[in-house]
Structures are given as C-alpha cells and as structure tokens.
Amino acid sequence: MSQGFNALAEKRRTIYALGPALPLAEDDVIALIQTAIRNSPSAFNSQSSRALILLGEQHKHFWSLTKEQLRKRVPADAFAATDKKIDSFAAAAGSVLFFEDQQVVSELQQQFAAYADNFPVWSEQSSGIAQYAVWLALAEKGIGANLQHYNPLVDDDVRQTWNIPASWTLRAQMNFGSVEAPAGEKGYIDDKQRFIVAR
C-alpha cells in the first residue's frame, strides 16, 4: 500500500497547462473532491475545512473577478503577463476554493482554552491536508491541478458572488482539468539537509 501511495505522491505535480476536458462526469468529480475533504484529518476532528467547487462558467467567472482585481493593482504596461496567466487558469475545467471556518476555530478556543493559541495553527494544517488530499485524488484519476493564492485580494468578490458565510476564510484556489502539457522536471534538495534520523 505504501508503494501505491508513494507512486501517487510522485504523480501529483503542479500542472499549469490545463484544459476543460475531464475523464469523469462532473458529478463524479464533485463527489471525488467532497470525499477527499470529508476524509481529511483535522485537530479534535474539528472538520473546519470548507470548499466552493466551481465548474464551467462559474469557474471562468471566478477568474474574471480575479483578473479585474489584479487589473486595479498591476501597472498597465505589465498587465499582459498577468492577463495571460489568469486566462490559463480560466482555461481549466474548474476550481476548488478552500476555506477554513473560523466559527469552528473560535468555538474550540472557548471549549479548550488551554489550547486556544494552537487552534488557528491547527486549522491551517487541516486546510493544507485537505488541499493535498484533493490534489492526490484528482491526480489518481489523471486530472491535472495547480494551487493558487489570490486571497485576500478576491475575498469580498467571492463572498458576495457565491453567498459565502462570513465565518469562512478563503485560504487557496485549486484549478483542475485535463493535462495539456506535463510538468517540468522536479528537483530535490539533499536528504541530509531535510532529514534527521535517530535510532
């Protein structure tokens, strides 16, 4: 089983060249994402991760909103590269917007005061685990993905457009779709810099 997991972990890569085709029906992709998040571990089983799954025109609309926010901030003479980058994200089949529910965090802080300072940290860890789980689930099905962070730039637009609860904090955006070009070669730092083994 560990060999199977490690092979999948190696298969999961950041894919920037994404297209709109999916090897599964949209409902199956939605179920895949939901299952991956549902089964992701969280501190105290808090289940604080939330997601907005956008497909088709809704996905494209998100990237249109993002582009307009960037247009306000990126100098006009430098915007062409930004425009191209955002269009490449919009060319994918969909996006998963990952949130953490701060109401859950706050309630845990009140309930377990001795750990209050840790719950925001553990919430961020839960979000990262959920993101990785979805990424692996998509990779297993041959669906490419990349992870972006345009929060808090787009937070208000997202909240207003999709009626997001006030307690949900946007943490990341994952595009997914068909793999139109593979990822480049991946380098690794020396294990001696990364690991300490004590026996």
Scan for tokens 């998963």, then name that residue.
96
CB burial readout 17-48, b (16+ within 10 A) else e: bbebebeeeeeebbebbeebbeebebbeebeb
The pLDDT assigned to 78 comes to 94
The pLDDT assigned to 121 comes to 98
Q: What is the three-class DSSP state of 171?
A: strand
**113-165 residue pLDDT tens:** 999 999 999 999 999 999 999 999 999 999 999 999 999 999 999 999 999 99
pTM: 0.96
**What confidence category does residue 73 fall into, taking pLDDT thresholds of 50, 70 and 90?**
very high
- Phi/psi at 111 (5° precision): -75, -35
**121-132 residue pLDDT tens:** 999 999 999 999
- Record the tokens describing residue 21, joined without a space: 């085709």
